Structure 1
Amino acid sequence: MTSGTSRFSRRLLLGGFVAFIAPSLGAEAQSARVLDGPRAAGLVGERFDGYAAIRGAAPADVRALVDHVNAERRALYAQRAAATNAPVDAVGRLYAAEIFRRLPAGSWIQAEDGRWVQK
């Protein structure tokens, strides 16, 4: 297989994968809305791997909320990974890209190197 064909195959596979996960993005977005308040307050951000993270000191109820959302995400990512025979971390990263896209300006995003940046 040539390099160009290989790139085309990866794009086709990725496109199919995204089409497969797209229906569940609505459910994920609904679940993630519970984080809107803590995100707006700067207490919670989104990580590169598709999980929410506490930024600095946060009350116990916010920490519990982030834990709950991440547990839901972990289950969803595992389900999608099993259904597509893809690595769970790859599924999380695809969801992260969509989560980032939907975040309002000013939201905090943690890059792979650990830096926090605002959208």
Structure 2
Amino acid sequence: MVLHGMKMLRVLLVALAFTSISAASWAQDLDALRSSGAVGERYDGLAVARDASAASFVASVNAQRSKIYQERAAKEGVPAEQVGMVYGKEIRGKAPAGTWFLLQDGSWAQK
């Protein structure tokens, strides 16, 4: 089954907005860590700790994201990895300048 791009993105964004009461604070922390280079983003919608001090924060972020991806995948009848790839494109578009991205070929690129 093929994902319906815009519909999927809207659903993912709504789901992310409701995952935590402190979503705004969490997003600010994530943006600050991405801007500093301590956290990067992967092509598959997961975060990467580029600095060991951010490892536990990244684990928390990825746990929340993985839960969203798995729930959405179950509803759509597609693999969670496919959902993550769609979300990864959205993350790249909205991430702050200076954010590092781990590309599918294993190389890093900075926004």
Q: Per the shorter chain, which TM-score range?
A: 0.7 to 0.9
Question: Displacement, 1:24?
Answer: 3.2
| Offset, 1:105 | 2.0
The number of aligned residues is 104
**What TM-score, normalized by structure 2, do the two folds share?**
0.81
Aligned equivalents of 2:12, 2:67: Cα separation in 1? 12
Rounded Cα–Cα distance in structure 1 between residues aligned with 2:29 and 2:68: 17
**Counterpart for residue 37 of structure 1:** 32
Higher Cα radius of gyration: 1
Residues 96 and 33 (structure 1), Cα distance of their counterparts in 2 relative to 1, 3 Å cut:
farther
Q: Please name the residue that 1:88 is paired with.
A: 80
Q: Counterparts in 2 of 1:38-77, with a 5 A limit? A: 38-55=33-50, 57-59=51-53, 62-77=54-69
Quick check: which one's helix share is greater?
1
Deviation by residue 1:39-76 (Cα, 9 ceiling, x = unmatched) = 11101110001000011x331xx211110010000100
TM-score normalized by the length of structure 1: 0.76
Structure 1: runs of 5+ lacking an equivalent: 1-9
**Structure with more relative contact order (C-alpha pairs < 8 Å, separation 6 or more):** 2
CA RMSD of aligned residues (A): 2.0
